[in-house]
Structure formats: C-alpha cells, structure tokens
C-alpha cells in the first residue's frame, strides 16, 4: 500500500491597488467652523427669545432687532446689502462644492506610499544642509515645484564657483533626494549671503 501526497497548489494572489492620495481640507476646512459659530449665535438668539417668552416677558434680543428693522423702506443701501449677502451665500455654496486640494506626492513603484508637500520641503532642506558652504536653509514645496532658500558663506565669483557653485550643488543634492518620487517636482534654489557680509 502506497501513500501519495499532493502538494497544494498556490494560486497567485492579485496585487492590491494602492490607495488614493490623501486630500487636504480645502476651503471648507475653515469655513465649516465659521458657519458652526454663526449657527451657535442663531441658536443663542432663538433660545433667549423662547426663554423670555416662556417666563412671560416680551422684550427679547430678537424682538429688539426686528423692531429696529420695522418700517425700513427700500433704498439703494438696503438693496446693496442684500446683493452682498446673496453673493456671500453663493460663494459659501461654491466653496463647499469645490474639490479638495491635493497636498501629497506618490513615491515610485506600486506600494501606494506618498509624501506630503510639507515632508517634501523638509526632505529638500535636509539634502541642502549637507552641501558645503550652506549655513541655513528654508524650503517650501508644492506638487510641481520645490523652492529652497539657502544662506551661504560663499562669495560671488569665489573659489569652487562661489554662490552659483553652491546653488548648483544644492540643486543636485535636492534633486537626488527627491528622485524616489514618482514625478519629482522642479527644484528652484535662491541664495543669499548672511546679514552683515558684503558679497
């Protein structure tokens, strides 16, 4: 009697699709809290009105405001205020419906990993700090470009290419650091001398 063992055949698993890039809050990120505060203000007015009337009173904040507006005749100023309020309301609707901003850049490959633009700026500053002749760096990044502001000790036309040489080396270093991104942004370098130095 012979026993035969069969090895289970492994079926190839499908590769998972990477997640979508995260999006920023957009305009609604600060508009939401503003509208929430306005709604809280309306709730306070209505609540005070209801409380006073339940207690048998008649003078409320809301009643005082409406009494002040009673008898207001149509004028150009009233029409202008109405138009401004309508335009602000329309802008609120447009801001709520507009697509949210994307502030992340995907890394190369199929891992789905990404870097936010703030992280890209930090990476650029770290790469620029490694270059000889650089005192301080400050970087800002978007999805299409990175700007590196460099304070350098080099003099214009000095040894090693001077300021222009430092700028070229910084650009090369930053581009090398960002090459892991799927679509590396354009690198712009601005150089300045330390305050008090005559370049």
Strand partners, 167: none
Would you state the pLDDT for residue 33?
Answer: 83
pTM here is: 0.57
Q: Cα–Cα distance between 62 and 81 in angstroms, integer? A: 20
Q: Cα–Cα distance between 177 and 194 in angstroms, integer? A: 26
For the segment 59-114, what is each residue's pLDDT rounded down to a tens digit? 888 888 778 777 777 788 878 888 999 998 888 888 777 777 777 888 887 677 88
Specify whether domain 105-192 bears CATH 3.30.70.1350.
yes
Give me 132's structure tokens. 């000889």
Q: Where in the chain is the domain with CATH 3.30.70.1350?
A: 105-192
For the segment 167-196, what is each residue's pLDDT rounded down to a tens digit? 999 999 999 999 989 889 999 999 987 665
Q: How far is CA 79 from the centre of its chain?
A: 37
Would you state the pLDDT for residue 199?
Answer: 43
If you ran DSSP here, which 8-state letter would residue 159 be given? G
Whether 35 has a pLDDT exceeding 50, the answer reads yes
Tell which residue, 74, 189, 71, has the closest CA to residue 125. Answer: 189
For the segment 43-60, what is each residue's pLDDT rounded down to a tens digit? 998 898 888 888 887 788
Across the chain, the runs of DSSP E, i.e. the strands, are: 104-106, 114-116, 134-141, 145-152, 186-192
Place of tokens 């891992």: 111
Tell which residue, 132, 127, 131, has the closest CA to residue 187. Answer: 127
Residue 115: CB atoms within 10 A of its CB come to: 19
């Amino acid at each position: 009697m012979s026993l035969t063992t069969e090895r289970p055949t492994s079926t190839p698993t499908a590769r998972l699709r990477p997640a979508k890039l995260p999006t920023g809050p957009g305009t609604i990120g600060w508009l939401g809290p503003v509208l929430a505060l306005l709604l809280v203000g309306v709730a306070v007015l209505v609540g005070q009105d209801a409380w006073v009337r339940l207690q048998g009173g008649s003078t409320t904040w809301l009643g005082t405001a409406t009494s002040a507006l009673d008898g207001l005749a149509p004028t150009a100023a009233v029409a202008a205020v109405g138009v401004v309020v309508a335009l602000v309301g329309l802008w609120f609707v447009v801001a709520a419906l507009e697509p949210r901003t994307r502030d992340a850049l995907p890394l190369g490959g199929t891992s789905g990993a990404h870097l936010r633009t703030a992280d890209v700026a930090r990476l650029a500053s770290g790469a620029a700090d490694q270059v000889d002749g650089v005192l301080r760096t400050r970087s800002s990044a978007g999805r299409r470009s990175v700007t590196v502001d460099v304070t350098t000790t080099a003099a214009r036309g000095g040894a090693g290419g001077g300021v222009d040489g430092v700028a070229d080396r910084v650009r090369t270093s930053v581009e090398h650091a960002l090459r892991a991104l799927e679509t590396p942004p354009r690198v712009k370098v601005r150089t300045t001398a330390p305050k008090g130095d005559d370049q």
